[in-house]
Amino acid sequence: MLNAFRQTSRTLLALTALSVAALGSSGCDEAGAQGEGAVALRVGSGVGGITFNTSNWVSAGARDIYEFDRTGAWRTNAYGFEVKLKNVTFVDPQLGKITTNPASNPSPFTTRVEITSAENLEVTVFPPLGAPTRSFAGADIVGLELLFNVKYAGSTTYQTKLRVTDHNLDVAGGNLFELTKLNPANDGLIGPICEVSTLGDRFARVYGNISVDAITGAVVEPPDIFHMACTAGAPGKSSTFGYLPHGAPETFRLANRVIRADYCADGYPYTFPGNSLVMRDNFSPGQEGQSLAQVTAYAQAHELVLEAMWDENGVLCVDTPRVDTLDASDVICPVKRNLDGTNAYNWQPPACAGFVDPNPQSLRFYSLTAI
């Protein structure tokens, strides 16, 4: 058993980085400071991953442009930023550098490039005079640049420029990209938009036709909206666990909630940076119909303990909170929303040991943590 220890949040970040090499696939929560208070960690034992950031849905560097409309229309996000995609610049291997304002109506004699509305970031080049289109994705779009006009709360417009500087193909998550901010005046590097994930990278999954509410975590599928989800945050990390939003927004939303230990489904995370997390469910290939008893046996076989069982509205039961200075009696939901539309007040989840699932055929997630 690992010993509990206490560190301030600054020391905590260093310890998290040191822990990464000993861990497998990792579960990250969202970006945000936890303050200077002492916290205790359940850092894992080589199985699963660690929960890194917990407070917000979006990394700090991405908050002004984390969602945009690929057509060049203005979009206002939950942080008060108005964003408009002004230019898309791409170097075609045959046609050279192409820059297009997506809101313009270019001549048919002009080559143009567009961000394709798809499940991930890709671009399509339209040569003039009806020549065949050319599509590019994955590593082939490294170098792509996006220029945005941005206003904060209706104030003066400024510009933000992004460049795709690296690519990684994740087995579960698909194409991941490193996105770096540039100085629009001279293309000098400012810095990456994503914070460091538990694997030490700064990649993002760019979801097409998806919007994630930065406050509630609600997921909708509006056409033409692109969401930049850093893998240092729950929406991006969910993809590396294999939970994608397209066609299954309810499982994607719940995966984000589990990663953040949002027991009460009210946005409050019951975790701190550095805690271990392994996720199971009852619908993924190889896990179909998996019961609470089967997951408990899995945890014991892998030197883990069951944290909680989850449905669409948060936890159904809690055994071992992810933070090792808490016990199950510390989890109290001021308002618990039930699936039948009723509310329970000052609700305390029951223990999972001996819990009888009232509807085992429904969507279930299971979270495991270190002993």
Tens digits of residue pLDDT in 305-359: 999 999 988 999 999 999 888 899 999 999 998 878 899 999 999 999 999 999 9
Q: Which of 41-45, 170-174, 221-225, 278-282 has the lowest mean pLDDT?
A: 41-45
Q: Verify that 150 and 284 share a domain, yes or no.
A: no
Per the structure, the count of domains in the chain is 2
Q: Which domain holds residue 190?
A: 60-231
Is residue 245 domain-resident?
Answer: no
Quickly state the pLDDT bin for 206 (edges 50, 70, 90). Answer: very high
Is residue 1 domain-resident?
Answer: no
Q: How far is CA 43 from CA 27, 31, 204, 243, in A?
A: 12, 18, 24, 23
DSSP 121: -
Asked if the model's pLDDT at residue 257 lies above 50, the reply is yes
Q: Whole-angstrom Cα distance, residue 266 to residue 355?
A: 23
Q: Verify that 202 and 277 share a domain, yes or no.
A: no
pTM of the model: 0.82
Q: Verify that 266 and 299 share a domain, yes or no.
A: yes
Q: Whole-angstrom Cα distance, residue 42 to residue 51?
A: 10
Is residue 240 domain-resident?
Answer: no
Cα torsion angle, 99, 102, 103, 104, sign: positive
Q: Verify that 148 and 87 share a domain, yes or no.
A: yes
Q: Verify that 87 and 12 share a domain, yes or no.
A: no
Is residue 252 domain-resident?
Answer: no
Q: Whole-angstrom Cα distance, residue 164 to residue 151?
A: 23
Q: Verify that 226 and 83 share a domain, yes or no.
A: yes
Is residue 21 domain-resident?
Answer: yes
Closest among 139, 157, 230, 142 to 193, alpha carbons compared:
230
Q: Which of 110-119, 188-197, 213-222, 229-238 has the lowest mean pLDDT?
A: 213-222
Final residue in a domain of this structure, among 215, 231, 247:
231
Asked if the model's pLDDT at residue 18 lies above 50, the reply is no
